[in-house]
Structure 1
Amino acid sequence: MTRNSRGSLVRPHPLPDSASHPVVTPLSPSVVYASDTPDALDAQYEGRVHGYTYSREGHPNADVVARRLDAMEGAEGGVVTGSGMAAVSTVLLGLLKAGDHVVGGNQLYGRSLRMMAEDLPRLGIATTLADPGDVAGVAAALRPETRLVLVEAVSNPTLRLADIDGLATLCRERGILLAVDNTFTTPRAFRPFDHGADIVIHSITKLLAGHSDVMLGYAAARDSDLTERMRVFAVTAGLTPSPFDCWLAERGMLSFDLRFDRAQATAAALADHLAGLRGVRQVLYPTRADHPDATRANALLGGQGCNMVSFELDGGRAAANAFTRAAEGLSFAPTLGDVGTTLSHPASSSHRALSAETRAELGLSEGFFRVSVGLEDPERLAAIFTEAVAQATSG
């Protein structure tokens, strides 16, 4: 059979040339990319020309998402990873080595706390937890071998505010990197680089993508050399994002500003509504005057509050079970940032690995809930919570 025989070419020819271009970013699922010659491949690897080789090392859909987030955060060359925790791992494992020490906020996301408590020490990286709102306490936790401080701008799930300005000054004076997980606040409400942070982390999975059908993360450093070290680690460890997830995330990010503003306004109204319900012990929302960090929240966020509300019911686990059963139309699920409102119970999900004593120290009782507010009608949402709280606490 000759080369020109019908069916002899397994792979199709390149796409036809076109004088126009697609409005929607094409999905590029190819794992491999062909080059013309070894010299052409050298030119790509040496950075003389831009191109793709193997999707673990980068692909067009990841670059589109990275450029969007770079523009939002004031970054350049950010790394998109397969999940938010992959982004955290990219920062910690890509920049630290055995013998180093890292200080983490004591109210980090549950899996970040587990990495601090178990995985980093197993690899010879010492860790200490401290209150990120107490700069003096963080300073006391520093050691000569401390290389990095990791905090969340707004903590998960207690919505406490880190003293980013104070921590940035401390870290700069000591020559230590400050990494800020900006997932809850998003660059719509807060930009860590503008406040002196060295590294920004996101779980794109959450509000940025916004539809509970994507799992992605992002990390970027102010220093391009640090970003490159993180990129090399992510590629080596295979923390590769799916092209399809990146394609979906870009779609979600196109409506991000609108979704954020609507959900944030509803969250503020819901927080005020919950505070007036009998059986609700406390409500946490950054713009409320009774928030423990209200002054700092106003200074850092400038009146923004994000789409997250946390509250505590009287009645413990029994009330929690009754509440989720009665909250008709709301998903009880360990996630956030969806177009629909979701309920999370940290004691049975994100922070279940912590001891009861540790959860109590963090304020995470059996009646504590985190609410990710979606795009529902605010009055309808308030009515659902009114009825659910009443049924949960009537006994």
Structure 2
Amino acid sequence: MNIATQAAQIGLDWDTRTGAVTVPIYQTATFRHPGLGQSTGYDYSRSGNPTRQALEGGIARLDGGARGFAYASGMAAIANLLLLFRSGDHLVVTEDLYGGTCRLFDQILVQYGLSFTYVDTSDPEAVRGAIRPETRALFVESLTNPLLKVADVAALSALCRERGLLCIVDNTFLTPYLLRPLDLGADVTVYSGTKYLSGHNDTVSGLVAVRDQVLADRVYFLQNSVGAVLGPQDAWLTIRGMKTLSVRLDRQQENAGRIAEWLARHPRVRRVFYPGLPDHPGHELLARQARGFGAMIAFEVDDKALVERVLLNTELISFAESLGGVETLITFPQVQTHADIPPAVRERLGINDVLLRLSVGIEDADDLIADLDQAFGGGSQRPGPGNR
């Protein structure tokens, strides 16, 4: 069954008693037992809640996993997964990953004896070279934040199997609608459900799908023990958002492609990072492994003075953190999403003082391009029927 259909049907068959087409919000902390030593299958909402379970089953089906898990945020999901490891373990990690993940690894988890090596995960040989005897996992972003490098998930998963490592893929930018890492051999996928999956900038959530049932049982033990679970109201909002995932992403990708082409022609833009452009280094790989290129764009302007002007003068596009919602957002990674990465590392990676990141929404593409044009100061080629 097509993923678009599966997403639209999440929760549809949950309430067989009434036939409700939307899963109810089970806003309860506890459940009454039918008798001594008996259970309805639900005892306490930290351990299991029907609304959350509908969401967890939904993400498992979309990703092709044995089981899914929903957390209070994407960071809570990652933190819970890292409890699979113990003091002395080492992980190989994408070098230009989200700054909050870097903060979790380098400022918190190192205190508990974990160690991390950051490499360019778009280069499988660089990953191979970083593996040590104590390495236990690879943590990779399928499409990196913010530089949009493309990971060869199939090759990296094969490398992990060869070396006995877990392959954990943060697939937030692509979602299972565009890429299913578990189908390519990965063990775990993790998402900030706040982003494309929820899609409306109205809730915070984290989602995980696990390919193997034995590993899924370990993850459930950690989820239940730590308790950073998603509440039923936010689970319902995430389900509601996921139902329109395909429709939103189709429109967002179409818009992103047009905007990326417009930026590539702009005289004040010196570089555009978007895998949908044919000259992007990962274009052919992503075309083979995924069904689309996503709706995130990064670009460098030719003068750092232009950064503030663009950020503060867009009218439709909001200057805000986060991404993946129906509204188009623009942000400045150096001082916002990636501020926790050391300055020298940011500069080496290219997260510099002229780099902007654009999360493209579902608005009319011509309106978005016109907004960017006036924020730049006008004078560039306007979109029209002849240059779509």
1:330 aligns with 2:306: no
Partner of 2:360: 373
- Contact 1:341/1:376 (CA < 8 Å) preserved in 2? yes
Structure 2 gaps of 5+ residues are 1-14, 381-388
Quote how far apart the aligned CAs of 1:18 are: 10
Distance 1:352 1:273 in 2: 28
- Hey, what does 2:259 align to over in structure 1? 270
- 1:25 and 2:14 equivalent? no
Q: Any idea what SS the aligned residue of 1:321 has?
A: helix
The equivalent of 1:89 in structure 2 is 79
Tell me the alpha carbon deviations over residues 332-388 of structure 1, each in whole angstroms, 9 at most, x when there is no partner.
111101111011211111101122221111111112111111111111111111111
Q: State, as a whole percentage, how many aligned pairs show the same letter.
A: 36
Aligned counterpart for 1:308 among listed residues 284, 296, 300: 296
Contact 1:279/1:390 (<8 A) preserved: no
Structure 1 residue corresponding to 2:32, chosen from 22, 31, 34: 34
TM score, norm. by length of structure 1: 0.89
The CA deviation at 1:114 is: 1.6
Deviation at 1:220, TM superposition (A): 2.1
SS of structure 2 residue aligned to 1:339:
coil
Which stretch shows the higher mean deviation, 233-242 or 196-205?
233-242
Counterpart of 2:333? 346
Q: Helix, strand or coil: the match of 1:57?
A: coil
* Cα distance per residue 1:172-208 (max 9 Å; x no partner): 1111111101110111111001111111111111011
**Shift of the alpha carbon at 1:392?**
12
2:186 is matched with which residue? Answer: 197
Quote the Cα distance in structure 1 between the aligned partners of 2:24 and 2:157.
40
Question: Are 2:205 and 1:216 equivalent residues in the alignment?
Answer: yes
1:33 deviates by 0.7
Q: Does 1:54 align with 2:44?
A: yes
Tell me which residue corresponds to 2:66.
76
Aligned-partner SS, 1:132: coil
Shift of residue 298 of structure 1?
Answer: 2.0
SS at match of 2:46: helix
Question: CA deviation digits over 1:218-264, x for unaligned, max 9?
Answer: 11221212112112212222211011001111111111110110111
Kept in 1: contact 2:142–2:171 (CA 8 A) = yes
Query: Secondary structure of the equivalent of 1:78?
Result: strand
Contact in 1 for aligned 2:65/2:212 (Cα 8 Å): no
Q: State the alpha-carbon separation in 2 of the partners of residues 307 and 68 from structure 1.
A: 23
Provide the C-alpha distance between the structure 1 equivalents of 2:56 and 2:34, rounded to a whole number of angstroms: 27
CA distance in 2, matches of 1:379, 1:314: 23
Letter in 2 for 1:285: Y
**In the alignment, does 2:133 pair up with 1:135?**
no
Are the aligned partners of 2:332 and 2:356 in contact in 1 as well (CA < 8 Å)? yes
Q: Tell me if the contact between 2:59 and 2:208 (Cα under 8 Å) persists in the aligned partners.
A: no
C-alpha deviation, 1:325, in angstroms = 1.4
User: How many angstroms apart in 1 are the aligned matches of 2:117 and 2:379?
Assistant: 38
CA deviation string 1:246-287 (max 9, x = no partner) = 111111111111011011111111100111111111111112
Name the counterpart of 1:185: 174
**C-alpha contact (below 8 Å) 1:322/1:392 kept by paired residues:** no
Aligned residue pairs: how many?
Answer: 366
Give RMSD over aligned pairs.
1.8
User: TM-score with structure 2 length normalisation?
Assistant: 0.91
Distance 1:242 1:219 in 2: 15
